[in-house]
Structure 1
Amino acid sequence: MTDLRMPALALAAWAGGLSVLLPGPVTALVLLVGLLAARWRGSRALVAAVLVLGAVAAGATVREARVAHDPVAWLAAERAVVEAEAVITSDPRALRSGFTDGVVLRATVVRVAGRGVAYEVRAPVLLLADASWTGVPLGARVRLTARLSPAEERGDPLSAVAAATGEPSVVAAPGPWWRGAAAVRGSLRDSVAHRPDAQAALVPALVVGDDAALDEALADDFRVTGLTHLLAVSGTNLTLVVGFLLLAGRWCGVRGGGHYVVGAVGIVGFVLLARTEPSVVRAAAMGTVALVGMGVDGRRRGTRALGVAVVGLLLLDPSLALSPGFALSTLATGGILMLGPGLRDALARWTPRWVAEAVSVPLAAQLACTPVVAALSAQVSLVAVGTNLLVSPAVGPATVLGLVGGLVGLISDPAGRLLGTLAGWCVAWIVAVARRGAALPTAALDWGTGPVALAVLTLLVGGLALLLPRLLARAVGGVGCCLLVVVSVLVRPPTPGWPPDGWVMVACDVGQGDALVLRAGPGSAVVVDAGPDPALVDRCLDRLDVARVPLLVLTHPHADHVDGRVGVADGRVVGATETTGSASYGTTRRVGELTLQVLWPPPAAHPDNPNDASVVLLVEVRGVRLLLTGDVEPPSQAAIARAWPGLSVDVVKVPHHGSRHQDVGWLTGLGARVAVVSVGADNDYGHPSPDALDPLVGTGAEALRTDLDGDVAVTVEEGGLGVATSR
């Protein structure tokens, strides 16, 4: 029987962290489940659960108070410019805005001077810097000047976001441990540098989570097919690496307690190679749990180890209670330990044991993680179990060969490249599975991220977890389930009534971002912005049967408008791409059925705020005028009003997701009958604001929002203006 005492304590610890960082129904639900489980095991377990909850809650409270009185956080609240010294704690990564060559990296500030006072501190920050920081080594101590701003979310382990100015000044080199780890990582990259780009990027990602060179389109394919965990440091990485070291130790004659020494050295070495970031430490903990679960009496010992790991990590860092990665790691490990054996035993009744093992592990992990994945991505992958099953034979060899290639490459370049070639051949299969899986007609289903949709999905997953062992226990049930999944992914289900007849514009539901589709003709559309997620805009265009994009306009270089541009190009012919720097002010042109005029920005405009440099388009189609406003704010709105007096339209895309910062007089003076707000559900910005929408509704305009209505279509039939929504 599974020992639930430690998992119950883990739930209590989670509730303790949430009770401080995120009070509300989620906390109450987690707390109730944890206390019920503890009570079921006896009064002593209940007392222990209450004590653990209190300890984590106290730790979270202390941390909140410490951050509130942290000099760096205080200076960030003042948006002060400071002189600081910091130790670099992550590798620089390129900013993915498409319009800058900057980098982002993490650091720990150890000294800061601002507002006339200097402080000795130890404060983690996120550094935004220019390309000159690309070569700063991990572990180096640097001197910098930066403007601080507050970290966005409560419970964030960061004290501030620091925008560095100028080049870094290295005042102390990294220690020997960091230099050694950097040498191995460099050797690993060199060992596969001669391979095709996808292989050269994926091998370091598999071994140590180094995915900096990975192509965005391939990363999106991995996400759609449920293989993203291979691109990040996870418990699987550690399990494979340490498992290989333990096996090598046995070959070398290590016995008894020596295995613990080899395992400990492997864990420490893995953390150094993959970097001592919170996600790596979390992965090391979960990988250790997985190793325990692989041993004798693994299910009982594994669930106990999982509970201990969760409680320990939350006591050390209560902010993990809000970390999606921590939740996914815990759920995946717990699913494998608690659901996996039942699924394996059911399948083993009519399939070979190795087949049952191979299928049950990804199936159990996927079942456990599905609700959280849906909450994060607004989709449910239907191919994840199959793709994970197909790639599993290649993951282990690719990881081990890549690691050994990096180590051997320190001694012999040719030998390292030979092993890198073998690792590249292994990952070539993984790449092929990801690309072909993502191209299937129904690789993933769109799913709502609201409380009701997620509650329904959780109930469905729970029902499946109970029902599947019975279904899979017989060949008829197992084969029937497989056939059902195959048919589901190969046949795209119709969307009744979508797209609506006569549609001329659709605001795609891409979360907190903009992606507008203007019909230029059969199968052809102009796309204005691409949202933050390639998969979401890709699926929206698929639903509209768009095969050609003669013009892609990216209004301004913010991630929620440009990061999905790879999805626009996925399987489509894309013509010209224009941005705020290349759109010709005042010009009018025809693209198919559309007439487009650029109303902003003029060549002389050089606003400090990128939002105010947004491309603003006036579109005419079938006698209807639409104004697409990007994220322009009151200064540019007022300038547009002066430059284009008397402007009137039928449809307005409300600027900046319905932010309260609007020139209300200009906005209501447009006379729009329809106001469309492209906005994400439960966003942290308070969008859309009643201050923006109420005046529009007061003029008689119909307001539609993608967070509530899904895709929003503007239609024109027989000269009449209409709207339709996908929900």
Structure 2
Amino acid sequence: MRRAPDVGPETSPATGERPGADLRMPVLGAVAWAGALVGLLAPAPLAVLLTGVGLALLVAAARRDRAGLRGTLVAAAVVLLAATAVAGLHRAGTATGPVPRLAAEEASVRGVLQVTGDPRLRQGTYGDYVVLRGDLVEVTGRGRSYALSAGVLLVAPPGWEEVELGSRVALAGRLAPADGDLAGVLRVRGEAELLDSPDVWWDGAALVRGALRESVAHRPDDQAVLVPSLVVGDDAGLDPDLSADFQTTGLTHLLAVSGTNLTLIVGFLLVLARVVGVRGRGRYAVAAFGIVGFVLLARTEPSVVRAAAMGTVALLGMGHNGLRRGTRSLGVAVVVLLLVQPWLAVTVGFALSVLATAGILFLAPTWRDALARWMPRWLAEAVAVPAAAQLACTPVVAAISGQVSLVAVLANMLVAPVVGPATVLGLAGGLVGLLSAPLSRIPGTLASWCVAWIIAVAERGAVLPAAAVGWGTSVLAVGGLTVLCAGLAVVAPRLLRRPVRVVVATALAVAAVVVRVPDPGWPPSGWAAVACDVGQGDGIVLRVAEGVAVVVDTGPDPVAIDRCLDDLRVERVALLVLTHFHDDHAGAVDGVLDGRAVDAIEVSPLPEPPATATAVAAAARARGVPVSVPGHGSRRTIGDVSLEVLWPEPGVVRSGGGERDGEGSNANDASLVLLAEVRGVSLLLTGDVEPPAQRRLLRTLRERSVALDVDVLKVPHHGSRHQDLDLLTHVRPEVALVPVGADNTYGHPNPGLLGTLESAGAVVARTDVHGDVAVVTTEGRAGPPGVVTRRRAPSAHPRRA
């Protein structure tokens, strides 16, 4: 007897087959996306030309149409023209007018601002500051006043974090040019002058957000931050190390507003409505109320509107005839969003949202059905949905980050069972908190228990040997990955039907993640020193003996410095030197201390900034590691490494942290400057000393007739333009190491400085371009040391080629 086909929300009652996807609206969405990109990025004449060509092709196709597609082609022509025109108008609005003109002149202005984004307190290298978005509705500059509406980004002093969303304030500051959908960046002076308080709906949303935070305030810090993040994307105060763990394990989407948030919250409200007897059109009213409430809670920023639209598409996709309705809704959402906010077309978040939603709609149902042949349907869905979304987003994530997370699918499957309860319970805590703060702790505590599991998965997954693998960001690399993902999408249903195949594939994937695969070319034979790729910071490793090293600075990322030391097979650190206490040099001490023995720590004599100095002292004390300040001129030998402290001299260290030249500080000039020798290779390690200290150091060396002629120079301050070139060329380095982060916002390294070093005969190696950089030598060597890198070789100066 033939088994009757299953009939469910995805199948036709008459045939038992799943209705096919309606691709007409997704095609229109793609056309709108292309039009928005042309309108935003192409020069105006080229945009008009491309639009005209596109319209001509569509009209020609429509005239020859014999397959009933004429209506779709006409609609595509209309959408293309509308999207390009709207995007062009938005682009012109941010590039012309009073605010962009004043920003180009960097004029001082006064004005009135309508606050449209929550203020965020940020930690800078030289002090805290506040950023927020708003619309300038009045501005006065260069002797003229204007009434307008121009989006700007404010950079303000501490105190502005108290400004409420929706309020209207008077301010003064200096405008600067901006990119994207902003007319300018306004650097504010002084305090905000409140003119109008937020409207009542913003007050209501603020009460719920405040009650939500209060419901989990008694829980550990990471849990107290993550619950509001899950519910409404409020991640203020999140530990940067935990954020890095979420990125490594592919869980970053939980830290921001996404369509999942809306789906869970509105789904919860619909269940409640059903329990209390709401039926028919009343459920649509409940869903609309939930969507509007979600947007108010999470704020009306473009990313929130995008998330609300994608969440609504997901809700439609979960209902009757979900695939057909979902694909139609996805196309409509893309078209509408790009006509309302065309700048979304160039944002990564929009691309990831669309791809994740498309993956869930097109791939997840087939994968779920394949798995459901041999496992419970609910479990099959829990596996298929995150896997499909992750696969669809993988090429874009790799193009941005340069890496592919191998644990992302597993991590998402592990946390999937608690994401829904955590979100719903967190929202319940906020709502109950409006009535009773003590009672709100009950759902708040339950929600925090759920996120404790999420945190555990992120932290454990991030430290696996191969949690993420490096992947190029070139067109060829991303294109190859896209082809690979498309192939996996095609073969996955056939693979997932057989439990044996799934078990074997899972075992291989787990082995690839858990077992570190040795790099046959790393570390290179005869390495003496390595500049680790730790992002925007310094991390230098000097080889003492097999498995033993001296580490000079840690960089800002514990995972990065720990990875570098593991790759060099360093099990014991004989000495950890922190040249100074800025986070980019001393912010990742735990990455060195955890999992390996550290004999001693030596630090700068100036404990500024105090927060980092205190954290270093606490971490060392917890592990029983002695901390000391080395004296000027002190020398010591540890195995193959000899060290001499050249700077700072007695009496030059001053507290206070004053800035110079917009970049320098007393903490920088208190950097320990070390002359090291490793296996016959001499290195000058300069920390972040600025030109005043560099000049004094050079003068002292000359007074003492010390003629430094080193093999390797660690360029100060990541190749900043603020340098004393006399010192850098006086030491006549063969190799110049520049530890620097890719795409940093400081303009490091300075091209002119690099050119000067190369002209002086140095081979310049940068961690942002070359990855980990090793200086290698051999016993009884003659000539300069060699340079070996993880990514590609540095370009040698012609005189050295």
Do both proteins adopt the same fold according to a TM-score greater than 0.5, normalized to the shorter chain? Answer: yes
2:159 aligned counterpart, secondary structure = helix
Q: Which one of 442, 445, 453 corresponds to residue 418 of structure 1?
A: 442
Q: Which one of 30, 40, 43 corresponds to residue 11 of structure 1?
A: 30
CA distance in 2, matches of 1:299, 1:578: 62
2:777 aligned counterpart, secondary structure = strand
Q: Which one of 407, 414, 417 corresponds to residue 393 of structure 1?
A: 417
Amino acid at match of 2:482: T
- Deviation string 1:344-375 (CA, Å, 9 cap, x unpaired) is 12212222211211110010011011111122
Correspondence 1:184 to 2:204: no
Q: 1:67 to 1:471 in 2, by over 3 A?
A: same
Where does 1:357-372 land on structure 2 (aligned, <5 Å)? 357-372=381-396
* Aligned equivalent of 2:232: 208
1:102 aligned counterpart, secondary structure = strand
Q: CA deviation at 1:644?
A: 4.8
Amino acid at match of 2:82: A
Q: CA deviation at 1:186?
A: 0.9
Q: CA deviation at 1:587?
A: 5.5
CA distance in 2, matches of 1:563, 1:7: 46
Where does 1:154-553 land on structure 2 (aligned, <5 Å)? 154=179, 156-510=180-534, 514-519=538-543, 522-528=547-553, 530=555, 534-546=558-570, 550-551=575-576, 553=578
The question of whether the paired residues in 1 share the 8 Å contact of 2:257 and 2:304 is answered with: yes
Amino acid at match of 2:478: L
Q: 1:125 to 1:17 in 2, by over 3 A?
A: same
CA distance in 2, matches of 1:346, 1:388: 20
Correspondence 1:608 to 2:661: yes
CA distance in 1, matches of 2:323, 2:350: 21
CA distance in 2, matches of 1:594, 1:112: 61
Q: Which one of 112, 116, 135 corresponds to residue 139 of structure 2?
A: 112
1:72 aligned counterpart, secondary structure = helix
1:87 aligned counterpart, secondary structure = strand
* Aligned equivalent of 1:59: 86
Q: CA deviation at 1:246?
A: 1.0
Amino acid at match of 2:114: V
Q: 1:467 to 1:632 in 2, by over 3 A?
A: farther
Q: 1:689 to 1:132 in 2, by over 3 A?
A: closer
* Aligned equivalent of 1:715: 776
Q: 1:88 to 1:562 in 2, by over 3 A?
A: farther
The question of whether the paired residues in 2 share the 8 Å contact of 1:585 and 1:603 is answered with: no
CA distance in 1, matches of 2:167, 2:776: 58
Correspondence 1:671 to 2:732: yes
1:260 aligned counterpart, secondary structure = helix
- Deviation string 1:151-172 (CA, Å, 9 cap, x unpaired) is 2xx4x22222222222222222
Q: CA deviation at 1:111?
A: 2.0
Give the paired residue count: 716
CA distance in 1, matches of 2:577, 2:132: 31
Q: Which one of 650, 658, 677 corresponds to residue 621 of structure 1?
A: 677
Q: CA deviation at 1:207?
A: 0.9
Q: 1:640 to 1:16 in 2, by over 3 A?
A: farther
Q: Single out whichever of 290-299 and 504-513 deviates more from structure 2.
A: 504-513
Amino acid at match of 2:676: E
Q: Which one of 140, 155, 169 corresponds to residue 142 of structure 1?
A: 169
The question of whether the paired residues in 1 share the 8 Å contact of 2:216 and 2:227 is answered with: yes
Q: Single out whichever of 544-553 and 350-359 deviates more from structure 2.
A: 544-553
1:101 aligned counterpart, secondary structure = strand
Q: Single out whichever of 424-433 and 258-267 deviates more from structure 2.
A: 424-433
Q: CA deviation at 1:291?
A: 0.6
- Deviation string 1:393-450 (CA, Å, 9 cap, x unpaired) is 1111111111111111111122211121121222222222222222322222122223
Correspondence 1:724 to 2:788: yes
CA distance in 1, matches of 2:747, 2:161: 35
Q: 1:91 to 1:475 in 2, by over 3 A?
A: same
CA distance in 1, matches of 2:500, 2:121: 51
Amino acid at match of 2:682: R
Q: Which one of 643, 653, 657 corresponds to residue 595 of structure 1?
A: 643
Q: 1:693 to 1:134 in 2, by over 3 A?
A: closer
CA distance in 1, matches of 2:441, 2:373: 44
Output the TM-score relative to the length of structure 2: 0.81
Q: Single out whichever of 287-296 and 547-556 deviates more from structure 2.
A: 547-556
Q: 1:348 to 1:121 in 2, by over 3 A?
A: same
Q: Which one of 106, 122, 127 corresponds to residue 95 of structure 1?
A: 122
Q: 1:719 to 1:695 in 2, by over 3 A?
A: farther
Q: 1:204 to 1:566 in 2, by over 3 A?
A: farther
The question of whether the paired residues in 1 share the 8 Å contact of 2:463 and 2:559 is answered with: no
Q: CA deviation at 1:679?
A: 4.9
Largest Rg, 1 or 2? 2
CA distance in 2, matches of 1:62, 1:609: 37
Q: CA deviation at 1:181?
A: 0.9
CA distance in 2, matches of 1:76, 1:669: 41
1:158 aligned counterpart, secondary structure = coil
1:411 aligned counterpart, secondary structure = coil
The question of whether the paired residues in 2 share the 8 Å contact of 1:499 and 1:544 is answered with: yes
- Deviation string 1:255-307 (CA, Å, 9 cap, x unpaired) is 11111111111111111111112211111111111111111111121111111
The question of whether the paired residues in 1 share the 8 Å contact of 2:578 and 2:585 is answered with: no
Q: 1:20 to 1:649 in 2, by over 3 A?
A: farther
Q: CA deviation at 1:584?
A: 8.7
The question of whether the paired residues in 2 share the 8 Å contact of 1:585 and 1:598 is answered with: no
CA RMSD of aligned residues (A): 3.4
Q: 5+ unaligned residues in a row in structure 2: which ranges? A: 1-19, 609-628, 792-801
Q: 5+ unaligned residues in a row in structure 1: which ranges? A: none
Q: 1:502 to 1:391 in 2, by over 3 A?
A: same
Q: Single out whichever of 160-169 and 543-552 deviates more from structure 2.
A: 543-552
* Aligned equivalent of 2:710: 649
- Deviation string 1:617-667 (CA, Å, 9 cap, x unpaired) is 343122433344567787876676556555532223445655777766664
Q: Single out whichever of 647-656 and 633-642 deviates more from structure 2.
A: 633-642
* Aligned equivalent of 2:14: none
Q: CA deviation at 1:493?
A: 0.8
Correspondence 1:2 to 2:37: no
- Deviation string 1:122-149 (CA, Å, 9 cap, x unpaired) is 2222222233223222222222222332
CA distance in 2, matches of 1:190, 1:311: 39
Q: Single out whichever of 616-625 and 584-593 deviates more from structure 2.
A: 584-593
Q: Single out whichever of 63-72 and 522-531 deviates more from structure 2.
A: 522-531
Q: 1:512 to 1:317 in 2, by over 3 A?
A: farther
The question of whether the paired residues in 2 share the 8 Å contact of 1:96 and 1:563 is answered with: no
Amino acid at match of 2:734: R
Q: 1:235 to 1:577 in 2, by over 3 A?
A: farther
- Deviation string 1:43-80 (CA, Å, 9 cap, x unpaired) is 55345434433332322222222212232332222223
The question of whether the paired residues in 2 share the 8 Å contact of 1:618 and 1:625 is answered with: no
2:395 aligned counterpart, secondary structure = helix
Q: Single out whichever of 202-211 and 495-504 deviates more from structure 2.
A: 495-504
Q: 1:544 to 1:611 in 2, by over 3 A?
A: farther
CA distance in 1, matches of 2:605, 2:358: 47
The question of whether the paired residues in 1 share the 8 Å contact of 2:262 and 2:308 is answered with: yes
